[in-house]
Structure 1
Amino acid sequence: MPDKHPQSIDAVQEMLQGADYVADRSLATVLFLALKMGRPLFLEGEAGVGKTEIAKVLAEQLDRPLIRLQCYEGLDVSSAVYEWDYARQMIEIRLAEATETADKDRLSSDIFSEKFLIKRPLLKALESNVSGAPVLLIDELDRTDEPFEAFLLEVLSDFQVTIPEFGTIKAKEPPIVIITSNRTREIHDALKRRCLYHWVNYPDAEREKEIIARKLPDIDKRLSEQIVLFIQALRQDPNLFKLPGVAETLDWSSALKELDIISLDPDVINDTLGVLLKYQDDISKIQGSEAAEIIQKINTELGTK
């Protein structure tokens, strides 16, 4: 199968932009290297900055299946890698006993064969596919318990899984692996060493305006500038519990567009802050005089341009 991977950093940026994902050059560079070197890419950053979207864009642009492992506390091998179909195995044993043809060695081999193996996301990602190796998204790894990381080491270093009763299953073509973390806890160095690393930061004002323009091309240009400057101002506030990410920027922009708003004012901001901020203490802090002061500064800045 011909290599469909982009062959330069510029080509990676063009590929991402083709899916309306606006990436800076540092992200395009590490993504290019991950594809070229066949290494997993570990992405950290605040929630809502576009880490998960990168895997979706890669799958779409490279025409690969996307396999997503959504992490959570208590995730284990049976949910993430594989488990045996115990009900079917028991039926097989009962049938063999009923016909009195049970050969213990043969039966043991039969019931631990592939037809009784339930493949979970990590094992599915090692399978061959007509369209090429899949994109494996291990999303929000920091939500899992620390011992789960040990299960990933063999997958990330050798792209294989060892099943004691069955043997080792190795990928013919390694999947493209994207791992994300919101950094609610530190990930072990042993796992990070197997990956290339990138911190996905909040975009600067110009890049955020471009993101809005690509995702919502019909939005009023002045409103878009006000939105971006307002959100950029919020991100400078050290007292907010949760800063708005790009996802919230797009949600707020869409909401304002649905309301036919063409310019921000304190009343509009107060009425719609629940789209942008998700904690009542943050909303209470910004509502009223704080919002009015920010928008006044923004309008003064835009008026001088």
Structure 2
Amino acid sequence: MTAPHTAPSLADVRFADGIELKAALREVDYIADDEFSVVVHLATALDRPLLLEGPAGVGKTELAKSLAEAAGRRLVRLQCYEGLDDNRALYEWDYAKQLLHVQMLRDRLSEQVAAFDDVVDASRFLAAQDFGLYSEAFLSVRPLLEAILSPEPVVLLVDEVDRTEESMEALLLEVLAEGQVTIPEIGTFTARSAPWVILTSNDTRELSPALKRRCLHYHLDYPTPERERDIVTARAPEVESAVAADVVELARTLRALPLRKSPSIAEVIDAARAAVVLKATGVAVTSQSAIRDILLAALLKYTSDVDLARGRLDGVASPPPTPAPEAGADSRERVTVASRPANTTTAVFRGHGGRDRGGIGVGNGRPARR
């Protein structure tokens, strides 16, 4: 059985070009550059899945949310994780509802079965009946099937697809390539509207060529300082541009260090808001390095990263770790990078540049040691 394909909703919003899409995203505070806007527009115009790869925290998931808001579509999200299977991604049968249905039919079935003297004949009779147990009414739909069955167009977000096993990728192929889902007990359901599909990957493993072949691909990296300042002020209007510039510069310097986790855009926004609170409340922190360390709490999530950042921002080179005996050239290169002094000569880290222009002055009050 193939479910009927209904016409798209009249509310289905389409963008004329990348410029129009960029403007629509900006209205919901998602700041995209020209190239990225064109790629997203192509994905929507061609109804092709868009695979976004890149480090965590650069706005991949947020794009799907903002695109849904800008187009007036509902967001359907499949959060991937290790061990995800078809029961959680596609569908499963509602056994409780099926059992209740059988119990409702029990009395009627008992009367009909009683008419047979032979057990074999009664069994054949039951086997020939269609009790309607395997129908759409008894499906518990999961995100992939929900997007296919939705009469209204949606944005389907398959988030962090690289966290699943390769076997899970195979389940996605029918949805991505054909826009349909096959349920053995029922048949094939084709999409009742054309979903926009966004897949995200943090590059923790290489995705299969079969999956990549069915998608448009774009590598999303950290934004330029200018665009990140725009993002901060758009998402946190209370943050002055000078404060945003200081925090963005601090995050940019931190991302150049060999950290376990670099600051995401969301964490930069949090740090900028924290800087505003520090100024507004007049917190009794006189040391510029102390203010900087408070902001590091919003930007960094590991103690080792905080210790490394403090040392590098103070101009103290980190002692190189001792590589394991079996470490090869890659490990030696990481040791060399880790022990290399950071470039902390910008005014914001000298402690006076930020104050001169109304910023937060997150430096240590003295020139950084080269």
Alignment-derived partner of residue 206 in structure 2 = 186
How far 1:258 moved relative to its partner? 2.1
How far 1:291 moved relative to its partner? 2.7
How far 1:243 moved relative to its partner? 1.2
Q: Which has the larger radius of gyration?
A: 2
Matches within 5 A, 1:1-305: 1=10, 4-99=13-108, 100=110, 101=112, 103-105=125-127, 107-108=129-130, 110-129=132-151, 132-237=152-257, 239-260=258-279, 265-287=288-310, 289-293=311-315, 297-299=346-348, 302=353
Uncovered stretches (5+) of structure 1, i.e. residues with no partner: none
SS at match of 1:226: helix
Q: Alignment RMSD, CA only?
A: 2.4
Residue pair 1:265, 1:292 contacting (<8 A) in 2 also: no
Alpha-carbon distance between aligned partners in 2 of 1:204 and 1:302, rounded to the nearest angstrom: 21
Alpha-carbon distance between aligned partners in 2 of 1:170 and 1:105, rounded to the nearest angstrom: 29
SS at match of 2:346: helix
How far 1:54 moved relative to its partner? 0.7
Structure 1 residues 84 and 280, CA gap change in structure 2 (3 angstroms): same
SS at match of 1:4: coil
Amino acid in the other structure paired with 2:29? D
Residue pair 1:241, 1:282 contacting (<8 A) in 2 also: yes
How far 1:106 moved relative to its partner? 5.8
Alpha-carbon distance between aligned partners in 1 of 2:181 and 2:126, rounded to the nearest angstrom: 26
Residue pair 1:230, 1:298 contacting (<8 A) in 2 also: no
Residue pair 1:68, 1:136 contacting (<8 A) in 2 also: yes
Deviations 1:6-27 (Å, cap 9, x if unpaired)?
A: 1011111101111111111121
SS at match of 1:260: helix
- How high is the TM-score relative to the length of structure 1? 0.91
Structure 1 residues 231 and 110, CA gap change in structure 2 (3 angstroms): same
Residue pair 1:77, 1:151 contacting (<8 A) in 2 also: yes
- How high is the TM-score relative to the length of structure 2? 0.76
Alpha-carbon distance between aligned partners in 1 of 2:179 and 2:126, rounded to the nearest angstrom: 33
Point out the more displaced range, 183-192 or 87-96: 87-96
How far 1:105 moved relative to its partner? 4.7
Structure 1 residues 271 and 295, CA gap change in structure 2 (3 angstroms): farther
Identity %: 41
Residue pair 1:43, 1:51 contacting (<8 A) in 2 also: yes
Alpha-carbon distance between aligned partners in 1 of 2:225 and 2:287, rounded to the nearest angstrom: 17
Residue pair 1:230, 1:295 contacting (<8 A) in 2 also: no
Structure 1 residues 264 and 222, CA gap change in structure 2 (3 angstroms): farther
Alignment-derived partner of residue 323 in structure 2 = none
Alpha-carbon distance between aligned partners in 2 of 1:124 and 1:264, rounded to the nearest angstrom: 55
Alpha-carbon distance between aligned partners in 2 of 1:297 and 1:34, rounded to the nearest angstrom: 40
Amino acid in the other structure paired with 1:172? R
> Could you say which structure has the greater relative contact order, defined with CA pairs below 8 angstroms and 6 or more residues apart?
1
How far 1:109 moved relative to its partner? 5.0
Count of paired positions: 301
Deviations 1:4-56 (Å, cap 9, x if unpaired)?
A: 21101111110111111111112101101001101010011111110001111
SS at match of 2:157: strand
Alignment-derived partner of residue 331 in structure 2 = none
How far 1:92 moved relative to its partner? 3.0
Uncovered stretches (5+) of structure 2, i.e. residues with no partner: 1-9, 114-124, 316-342, 358-370
Deviations 1:87-124 (Å, cap 9, x if unpaired)?
A: 22233334434432475356445111121111111111
Deviations 1:169-209 (Å, cap 9, x if unpaired)?
A: 00132211011111111111101111101111101111111
Structure 1 residues 56 and 6, CA gap change in structure 2 (3 angstroms): same
